[in-house]
Amino acid sequence: MPEIIINGPEGRIEGRYLHAKQPNAPIALILHPHPQHGGTMNNKVVYTLYHAFAQRGFSCLRFNFRGVGRSQGVFSRGEGELSDAATALDWLQSYNENSSQCWVAGFSFGAWIGMQLLMRRPEINSFVSVAPPANMFDFSFLAPCPSSGLVLHGDKDEVVPPNSVDKLIDKLRQQKGITIDLKTISGANHFFHGLTDKLDQHVGSYVDRALSDENAEAK
């Protein structure tokens, strides 16, 4: 997974990129948790997501938001980080012009940014949101949510109460034409300590199903 440098809105964006061997491979952009609370692209949940997509033949990119690691700039309350994500997606698409699908996945703060990106980029086919911080950030922009996707949460999450995620999912499920899968991982706290294997299994199963459905429709 070679290190890459992207020219971002505030200067250098540091990332890790894995290019799939198969032509027209799907692409996945992975977004890390809050920069002011230790979030980086090397977070174990972020790496688990990255690995799950890579195992399934995706070209995958994870990167550090502005002000994190070797990425230049300073934290920008989400506005700048959304711009970083859009720039990273542009870069990913430029190296995969004929990709069959486009996915975005994020953990905590990264899930919030990912869902905003989903609203702005109609080419995104699906999403994975891990522990979306529905109690901390406004998700009302999801009106309507444009794509089906997977939400994962731990029932012992001490940062984002499970009931706040349940309320968000209930709202999204009222919309016609999309399906939101919710997987609650028993015993998992916000950071999924000791349970990233369960996270990997749920994400992998969901992506496998989605790819299988796409192949069936193509026949």
Domain range list for the chain: 3-218
Task: Specify the pLDDT at position 1.
Answer: 60
Residue 71 DSSP code: -
Sheet holding 149-154, edge to edge: 3-8, 11-18, 59-63, 27-31, 102-107, 126-130, 149-154, 180-185
Average pLDDT over residues 42-67: 98
- Say what the pLDDT of residue 143 is: 84
Please report the pLDDT score of residue 59 as a whole number. Answer: 98
Which pLDDT does position 210 carry in this prediction? 94
Beta bridge partners of 60: 18, 28
Where is pLDDT greater, at 174 or 152?
152
Is residue 95 over pLDDT 90? yes
Please state which CATH number belongs to domain 3-218: 3.40.50.1820
Mean pLDDT of the chain: 96
pLDDT tops 70 at residue 219: no
Mean pLDDT calculated for residue range 46-67: 98
pLDDT band at 174 (very low <50, low <70, confident <90, very high): confident
